Amino acid sequence: MQRVGVFVCWCGSNIAGTVDVQAVAEALKSEPGVVFSTDYQYMCSQAGQDMIKTAVKEHNLTGIVVCSCSPRMHEATFRKTAAAAGLNPYMVEIANIREQCSWVHKDMATGTEKAIILGKAAVAKVNLNAPLTPGESPVTKRALVIGGGIAGIQTALDIADAGFEVDIVEKNPTIGGKMAQLDKTFPTLDCAACILTPKMVDVAQNEKIRIFSYSEVTDVKGFVGNFDVTIKKNARYVKEEICTGCGACLEKCPMKKIPNEFNLGMDNRTAIYIPFAQAVPKVATIDPTACTMLKKGKCGICSKVCTAGAIDYTQKDEYIEEKYGAIVVATGFNPISMDKFDEFAYSQSKDVITSLEFERLTNAAGPSAGKLLRPSDGKHPHTIVFVQCVGSRCEACAEKGKEYCSKICCMYTAKHAMLTRDKYPDTEVYVFYIDVRTPGKNFDEFYRRAVEEFGVKYIKGMVGKVTPEGDKLKVQASDLIANKQLHIDADLVVLAAAIEPDKSARPLATMLTASMDTNDFFTEAHPKLRPVESPTAGVFLSGACQGPKDIPETVSQAGAAASKVIGLLAKDKLTGNPCVASSDELMCNGCSSCANVCPYGAITYAEKEFRMPDRTTKVRRVAEVNPAVCQGCGACTVACPSGAMDLKGFANLQIMAEVDAICK
């Protein structure tokens, strides 16, 4: 029998407001094995922890039950306290009487009753606890960054700067991401290319960094410090290491009418293409859906004009297997489709565009060489209407919009409006807004400049209908301050489309066993205190894959993710989790049920020799768990038909003791 000490925390009034903590401490005194029981205002404070240490010594405690908050919050704290007092840290059990009790009950009597029951269960369990010792595993000192936008680029550069190798996997033919498509950046109006392309070049030239462009991650195995990743390099039909990016093939390619993704389909590219002049790597890629040589075996012009001999129509997809210690997700975002918002007539008029299309229209490298011209007739627009929150904050329309605020639209719309008025002062610019949200350094000042210095007309209200008629866009809108319905004949309407995570994020999260929210943004380990770590050990988050973000915030988070990776890769060994499965080989019949359900591939089989009662020996097939790979999920213990598989720290006996204590 253990000698158990019970420590009931008030958590200020968080617990004590709904649970009679003294009654709980008193009631648990009479539980089997309990030799000491007390309560205290803040058990996690230094004074609280000292109280535990003193009690361990004075009462020769061998087990500890802390009735407090969720073990996710302070289990580690109290394990350290136990270790400092000379106990094995796994002799601590937490009864969660806050999240699962005081916060969900309003009535003191019910709250107290439930807290006592939870405490009893924890005491019953700790009576059966045994000391556990974690194992160690080595760390592969190389990181993988998935996504080559500004988030991935910054993370990779920072990790490489600390001396570790980094690979970037980017699904497009070039790195650069969304930032490469932008014109100017708020709030300082630097040209996006001027500040991004030097970083892209740094990545290309950094000997610690490899770029796998036009590639994707197809499989991830292993665990923190020891990931095995399969990368698929899509065939680009051009030998990357030979191509000089001279562009001769682009000039001669006869397939010239392929919508250009980089300019969002507003102009055309050739079937063999380089997305933009500063692409990294600057090599050509053949679009297999457009190339007549690849589709019909006729043409071959690019091969003839390539003096370097880089064209290879027979190239196949290539699979590469690599080992990494840490993985950073930087898969970014996309604007949502405007198909379901046709009250704005996006499908009906070329002059209704999204904000990202507007970026291309004002970019010197864009389809109109930086002149703001209407896509329909190439004329200069004299009246422009910007509509904010298209598809954002849209709770009613889950099938078309997003419930959240997309965060970046207020600022980029202010930027677009301001730059338009600056360059074309004869243009009337209206911005329809619900709220203007500009938290950020120099952000509100920026928005006010658009209004006060540049004369942008901000109207509190929404656009209800856009009717293309003749060469005008008839905009019907509300002005809530004037209490009027407005009718504006516009030449161009710009929609601030909501942003959503890239479609590649969901399958990637499954591969990484990293959790996501209902909007497919990656979930952080703690929303405040661990914002760049995924709850899955060894997986880190950078940029908009975790939530909508502007460039300054993305770069900060990218650096933070890098520092967490560096902290991990700097270690030679990682301490594992001792709460792993183990198989009783005498009971195991080698049926493979456990291996079939194991999500981590932690279970293997071995032929072992057993002594039989008649002194003969017999060779049997039995399960073996690799404790470094096992994550302690417990699936195998449920699947095992003979009861051979058990989980250390959560043994079947311990769980049943808890259930019994609750049902008593």
Partner 1 sequence: MKVSYFPGCTLKNKAKDLDLYSYKSASALGVTLEEIENWQCCGGVFTSADDEVATKLSSVRALKYAFERNEPLVTVCSACHNVIKQTNYAMQTNKTFADKVNRYMAEDSYNGEAEVYHYLEMLRDLVGFDTLKEKVVNSLKGKKIAAYYGCLLLRPNKVMRMDDPENPTIMEDFIRALGADAVVYAKRNECCGGYISVESPDSARRNSNAVVKNAKAAGAEMIITACPLCKYNLEKNGADIPVVYFTELLAEALGVKEDTNA
Partner 2 sequence: MHNNRYLRDEIIRISGVNTAKCMKCGKCSATCPAYDEMEYHPHQFVNMVESGDITPLLNSDSLYKCLSCFACIDRCPRGVEPAKVVEAVRLFAVRKQGANRMTANDVPAIVDEDTPQQLLVSAFRKYTK
Task: Report the interface residues with partner 2, using CB under 8 A.
Answer: 343, 389, 393-397, 401, 434, 460-465, 476-480, 483, 485
CB of 61 to partner 2, least distance (A): 53
- Report in angstroms how near the CB of residue 350 gets to partner 1 at its nearest: 14
Nearer to partner 1, 271 or 338 (CB): 338
Q: How far is CA 313 from the centre of its chain?
A: 36
Contact between 465 and partner 1 (CB under 8 A)? yes
Choose from partner 2, partner 1, none: what does 401 bind? Cβ within 5-8 Å by kind.
partner 2
Q: How far is the CB of 343 from partner 2 (least distance, A)?
A: 6
Cis amide leading into 501 (omega within 30): no
Q: How close are the terminal C-alpha atoms of the chain, in Å?
A: 20
Cα(147)–Cα(213) distance, integer angstroms: 9
Q: How far is the CB of 396 from partner 2 (least distance, A)?
A: 3
The C-alpha atoms of residue 201 and residue 636 are separated, in whole angstroms, by 49
Helix (H), strand (E), coil (C) string for 580-609: CEEECCCCCCCCCHHHHHCCCCCEEEEEEE
Q: Under the phi-then-psi rule, with left for phi > 0, alpha for psi from -120 to 50, and beta for the rest, what region is 437?
A: beta
| From partner 2, partner 1, none, interface partner of 485 (C-beta below 5 to 8 A by class) | partner 2
Residue 561 C-beta: closest distance to partner 1, Å: 40
Residues 427, 467, 577, 652: which binds partner 1 (CB under 8 A)?
467
User: What does 633 interact with, of partner 2, partner 1, none (CB < 5 to 8 A by kind)?
Assistant: none
CA gap 311, 238 in Å, rounded = 5
Using CA atoms, how far apart are residues 465 and 498, in angstroms rounded to an integer? 18
Nearest-angstrom CA–CA distance, 50 and 32: 25
> Near partner 1 by CB under 8 A, which window of 3-11, 308-316, 344-352, 621-629?
344-352
Distance CA 274, CA 487 (A): 44
Return the one option of partner 2, partner 1, none that residue 394 interacts with (CB less than 5 to 8 A, by type): partner 2
Q: Residue 152: in which H helix or E strand, if any?
A: helix 150-161
Pick from 156, 249, 311, 466 the residue near partner 1 by CB under 8 A.
466
DSSP 8-state secondary structure symbol assigned to residue 311: B
Strand partners, 136: 575
Binder among 190, 317, 321, 343 for partner 1 (CB under 8 A) = 343
- Give me the least distance between CB of 420 and partner 1, in Å please: 24
Residue 348 contacts which entry, partner 1, partner 2, none (Cβ below 5-8 A, type-dependent): partner 1
Instruction: Tell me whether residue 369 or residue 396 sits nearer to partner 1 (CB atom).
Output: 396
**How open is the CA angle 558-562-563, to the nearest 5 degrees?**
120
Binding track, positions 348-377, relative to partner 1; x by CB under 8 A: x-----------------------------
Nearer to partner 1, 245 or 468 (CB): 468
> CB under 8 Å to 607, separation ≥6 — which residues?
619, 620, 621
SS3 helix, strand, coil % of the chain, rounded to 5?
30, 25, 45
| Site membership for partner 1, residue 345 (CB under 8 A) | yes
Least gap, CB of 2 to partner 2 (angstroms): 53
Residue 483 binds: one of partner 2, partner 1, none (C-beta under 5 to 8 A by kind): partner 2
Residue 409 found at the interface with partner 1 (CB under 8 A) = no
> Least distance (Å) from partner 1 to the CB of residue 486?
15
Tell me how far apart the alpha carbons of residues 59 and 73 are, in angstroms, rounded to a whole number: 27
Q: State the minimum distance, in angstroms, from the CB of residue 397 to partner 2.
A: 7
Minimum separation from the CB atom of position 263 to partner 1 (A): 24
Output 393 or 608, the one with its CB closest to partner 2.
393
Beta strands in 370-514 (DSSP E): 383-390, 428-433, 457-460, 463-469, 472-479, 484-490, 492-497, 499-501
Q: Is 469 in the site for partner 1 (CB under 8 A)?
A: yes
Report in angstroms how near the CB of residue 430 gets to partner 2 at its nearest: 13
Long-range contacts of 522-528 (CB under 8 A, 24+ apart): 522/329, 522/546
Read out DSSP for 56-90? HHHTT-SEEEEEES-HHHHHHHHHHHHHHTTS-GG
CA distance 158 to 385: 41
In whole angstroms, what is the distance from residue 226 CA to residue 569 CA?
A: 11
Nearer to partner 1, 378 or 470 (CB): 470
Rounded to a whole number of angstroms, the minimum distance from the CB of residue 344 to partner 1 is: 8
Q: How far apart are CA 477 and CA 57, in angstroms?
A: 74
Contact 181, 361 (CB under 8 A): no
Q: Which residues pair with 80 in a beta bridge?
A: none
Position 488 contacts partner 1 (CB under 8 A): no
Residue 466 partner contact from partner 1, partner 2, none using kind-dependent CB cut-offs of 5 to 8 Å: partner 1
Least distance between partner 2 and beta carbon 497 (Å): 13
* SS3 assignment, position 35: strand
> What is the smallest separation between the CB atom of 340 and partner 1, expressed in angstroms?
7
Q: Of these, 210, 252, 340, 371, which contacts partner 1 (CB under 8 A)? A: 340
By CB under 8 A, tell whether 435 contacts partner 1.
Answer: no
Among 107, 207, 241, 339, the residue binding partner 1 under the rule CB under 8 A is 339
Stretch binding partner 1 (CB under 8 A), from 79-87, 186-194, 433-441, 465-473: 465-473
Widest pairwise Cα distance in the chain: 102
Residue length of the chain: 664
Query: Residue 647 has what DSSP assignment?
Result: E
Q: Min. distance of Cβ 437 from partner 2 in angstroms?
A: 12
Cα gap 430→643, rounded to integer Å: 71
Q: How many other CB atoms are found less than 10 A from the CB of residue 200? A: 25
| Residue among 104 and 480 whose Cβ is closer to partner 2 | 480
Residue 461: which of partner 2, partner 1, none does it interact with, CB under 5 to 8 A by kind? partner 2
56 contact, one of partner 1, partner 2, none, CB 5-8 Å limit per kind: none
What residue has token string 């205190």? 529
> Is the Cβ of residue 487 or residue 530 nearer to partner 2 in the bound state?
487
Among partner 1, partner 2, none, what does residue 393 contact (CB within 5–8 Å per kind)?
partner 2
Cβ neighbour number for residue 275 with a 10 Å cutoff? 19
Please tell me whether residue 607 binds partner 1 under the rule CB under 8 A: no
Name the residue nearer to partner 2 (CB basis): 485 or 519: 485
In whole angstroms, what is the distance from residue 178 CA to residue 436 CA? 23
Contact residues toward partner 1 (CB under 8 A) are 339-343, 345, 347-348, 465-470
